[in-house]
Structure 1
C-alpha cells in the first residue's frame, strides 16, 4: 500500500511540474504585470503625447513658428522619456521572467 501511495505521489509531482512548465510564461508575465504598475503611467504619457500632437497639427508653422518649435521639442522630449521608460520596464520584465524560470528549474 505504501509503495502505491509513493508511486501516486511521484506521478502527481511529475504532472504538477509539467503543468507548471506549460503555464510558466503566463505565470511570469502575470507576476511582472502585478509587480510593475508602470503601464498606467505609460498610458498617460502616450495620451499626453497624442494631445500635444493634435495641438501641434493645429498650429501653423509659418504664422506661429516659436510655438510650433516649442511644441515639437516637448513632443520629442516626451517621446524620448517614454522610450526610456518602456526600455527599463521591458528589461525588468525580462529579469522577472528569467528569475521565475531559474526558480522553476531549481525546483525541478
Structure 2
C-alpha cells in the first residue's frame, strides 16, 4: 500500500497518455486504413473514364444522335458496373482490415489496462485537497483508501471519458 505522501508522477503521466491512446484507437484505425488501403489505379482509371463518359454524354443530344448516345451510355453503364464490383471487393478488404486492427489494438489495450489497474491499484497518482470533492472524494480515491488521493481506477475513467469526447469533437 502506498504511503500517504507518495506521488507517482511517472505512473500518472503514463496512465494519462495510455487512456488517451485508448480513446483515440478508432481515429488511429481510420488513419491507418486510409494510408495503407488507398484506391487502386484501376478504380481511379474507372472513375476518370466514367467522368469523361458523362461529360461526353452531356454534350450529345439524345434525340438527334440516338445511336451515338446509346453506345456511350452502354460504355458508361459497363464502366459503372466494373467500378461497383471493384469497389465491393475493396470494401470487403477494408472491413476485414478494420476488424483486424480493432481486435489487435483493443486486445493490447485491454491487457495493458488490466495490468495497470491490478498492479498499481493502491498507488496514489496525485493528491488534491480533500474538501474539493467532499461527498465524492472516496470514489476518486478508490481503491487507494487515502483521502484526497486520486486512484488509478478513477483517473483512467476520467481521462478515457475526456479523450472520447475529444475524438467526437474531432470526428
Shift of residue 55, structure 1, vs aligned partner: 1.1
Structure-2 change in CA distance of 1:27 and 1:72 (3 Å): same
Measured in 2, the distance between the counterparts of 1:26 and 1:58 equals 43
Structure-2 change in CA distance of 1:54 and 1:67 (3 Å): same
Shift of residue 39, structure 1, vs aligned partner: 6.0
Structure-2 change in CA distance of 1:10 and 1:94 (3 Å): farther
Structure-2-length-normalised TM-score: 0.50
Structure-2 change in CA distance of 1:10 and 1:91 (3 Å): farther
Structure-2 change in CA distance of 1:97 and 1:15 (3 Å): farther
Measured in 2, the distance between the counterparts of 1:28 and 1:43 equals 23
Shift of residue 65, structure 1, vs aligned partner: 2.8
Measured in 2, the distance between the counterparts of 1:83 and 1:31 equals 24
Measured in 2, the distance between the counterparts of 1:25 and 1:90 equals 18
Higher helix share: 1
The RMSD of aligned alpha carbons is 2.7
Measured in 1, the distance between the counterparts of 2:60 and 2:79 equals 19
Unaligned runs of 5+ residues in structure 2 are 111-171
1:95 aligns with 2:127: no
Structure-1-length-normalised TM-score: 0.73
How many equivalent pairs are there?
Answer: 105
Match of 2:85 in 1: 84
Measured in 2, the distance between the counterparts of 1:12 and 1:104 equals 20
Shift of residue 10, structure 1, vs aligned partner: 4.8
Match of 2:56 in 1: 55
Shift of residue 9, structure 1, vs aligned partner: 5.5
Measured in 1, the distance between the counterparts of 2:9 and 2:100 equals 30
Shift of residue 84, structure 1, vs aligned partner: 2.2
Structure-2 change in CA distance of 1:87 and 1:13 (3 Å): farther
Shift of residue 66, structure 1, vs aligned partner: 2.6
Structure-2 change in CA distance of 1:41 and 1:27 (3 Å): farther
When Rg is computed on C-alpha atoms for both structures, the one with the higher figure is 2
